[in-house]
Amino acid sequence: MENPAEHVVIIGNGISGVTAARYIRKLSDKRITIISAETKYFFSRTALMYIYMGHMKFEQTQPYEPWFWKKNRIDLVEDYVESVDTRSRFLKMRQGETIEYDKLIIASGSIPNKFGWPGQDLKAVQGLYSYQDLESMEQYTEGLKRAVIVGGGLIGLEMAEMFMSRNIPVTFLVRESDYWRSVMPAEESNMISRHMIEHHVDLRLNTELKEILSDSNGKARAVITSTGEEIQCQFVGLTAGVRPNVQFLKDSLNCDLDIQKGVLVNDFLETTAADVYAIGDCAQIMNPLPGRRTIEAIWYTGRMMGETVAHSICGTRTAYIPSLWFNSAKFFDIEYQVYGTVLADPLENHKQLYWEHPDGRKSIRLVFQIEKKNVIGFNLMGVRYRHEVCEKWIEEETHIEEVLQNLGIANFDPEFYQEYEVELISAYNKQFDANLTLKKKRNFTSALRFLKRKVVGQ
């Protein structure tokens, strides 16, 4: 039975914590407090780059107006959590306050990785994760002649695009043979590397950071690479991935949480401490589903975790079951989408159909099982497919040839986007010695009927 007087405290006001608060309010009359020292109001973290580039103002990245929080009786506390006492159920704040809780949700997010590089704590050396990172990046932009970015991930490319929007040269150090090769198949990885060079990024492949050199004021002035080269710069972006923000929990006394890389949680997002949950980037799933990681620092998984934990806190204990793996990004002007299982290097029982446009800026990859020939993944560069359609095909273990013959219904916007069904079938016939032909083109009405069948389960 619901206890309206119960106090639910949430550490973190990112997508996970705010989603949890919103759904707890929808489902109950409990007292809710969100704690965050980053910003007073929730904002879209993925929009940070557009603030720097002048495309948006900070206020425009906030999905909810300031009055939203008071109207929905969600209290906001601007402070850092110094320690968590799970035995006495209270939080000690940096400014001296003590906050008691009945239920606690840890949604403290991530922080940029550091790997012990000499000089990694100098001024003008940082990642890009928080609003404070954006402010610091803005501060160091004045007089900046060159930035060096370390790490071949999405945040690094965003940072490169931000600097280059202000005509600041960028040198990008990537330890792999191509950008994001640990995640992307070779062809797509190479496509992005080419695209970065076309946009005048000084891309250094197979090159690692060795040391950051300081000027007389404790600020970065150059880097030394693994090849022994010294590159003059006034800013170093450390974007070699992120890790769960859990050190404050490890340092807490009387904190009965089992912590490895992140806070360990069971299938219900429950920690090893009573009435304490962890969600989002800081949560480490003890028993992930096959093919899924223990920590998934992705926007949509954080949102799903927030909604799931709200049901459990409000009386309906609910297991977290992530939906089909999905991610999207933009590499300068190439859009990227992935649905399902697409590995950097395929397994023995996986076959892959790959087609690349002659312009070298668009590609489609379909991954399917050898035995049943059912599609298990889509990797799209510069081409959009409908999420619902791809999800349905994967969930229903649809044969690769049926997918190819009906690709028209997956096109995101047939009116404005070019379609490549003919080219893809031609590539399939050539790569797999087949004689497949394209069925009669499926129009937008067909796509709507297809999606309707998915919703009603027909």
Q: In the structure encoding, which two tokens stand for residue 320, read together? A: 């977290």
**Cβ proximity of 449 and 409 under 8 Å:** no
With vertex at residue 45, the alpha carbon angle to CA 96 and CA 18, rounded to the nearest 5 degrees, is 60
pLDDT confidence of residue 458: 44
pLDDT confidence of residue 411: 86
Q: In the structure encoding, which two tokens stand for residue 296, read together? A: 């998934």
Q: Would you give per-residue pLDDT tens digits along the chain (458 residues)?
A: 457 789 999 999 999 999 999 999 999 999 999 999 999 999 999 899 999 999 999 999 999 999 999 999 999 999 999 999 999 999 999 999 999 999 999 999 999 999 999 999 999 999 999 999 999 999 999 999 999 999 988 999 999 999 999 999 999 999 999 999 999 999 999 999 999 999 999 999 999 999 999 999 999 999 999 999 999 999 999 999 899 999 999 999 999 999 999 999 999 999 999 999 999 999 999 999 888 899 998 899 999 999 999 999 999 999 999 989 999 999 999 999 999 999 999 999 999 999 999 999 999 999 999 999 999 999 999 999 999 999 999 999 999 999 999 998 898 765 566 889 999 999 999 999 999 988 765 555 555 565 555 544 44
**What one-character DSSP code corresponds to residue 439?**
P
Alpha carbons 199 and 188: distance in angstroms, whole number? 17
Measured from the Cβ of residue 45, the count of other Cβ atoms closer than 10 Å reads 19
74 exposure class (CB count in 10 Å sphere: 0-12, 13-18, 19+): buried
**Cβ proximity of 322 and 147 under 8 Å:** no
pTM score, whole prediction: 0.91
Alpha carbons 83 and 398: distance in angstroms, whole number? 50
Alpha carbons 353 and 364: distance in angstroms, whole number? 8
**Domains delineated in the chain:** 7-111+243-313 (3.50.50.60), 125-240 (3.50.50.60), 326-456 (3.30.390.30)
Report which secondary-structure segment, H or E, holds 452. helix 444-456
pLDDT confidence of residue 363: 97
pLDDT confidence of residue 455: 47
278-315 burial, b for 16+ CB within 10 Å, e for fewer? bbbbbbbbeeeeeeeeebbbbbebbbbbbbbbbbbbbe
**Cβ proximity of 428 and 434 under 8 Å:** yes
For every residue of 144-175, DSSP letters joined together read ---EEEE-SSHHHHHHHHHHHTTT--EEEEES
End-to-end CA distance of the chain: 37
pLDDT confidence of residue 124: 98
Alpha carbons 348 and 183: distance in angstroms, whole number? 17
- Locate all alpha helices (DSSP H) within 251-373, ordered by sequence: 299-313
337-367 burial, b for 16+ CB within 10 Å, e for fewer? bbbbbbeeeeeeebebbbbbbeeebbbbbbb
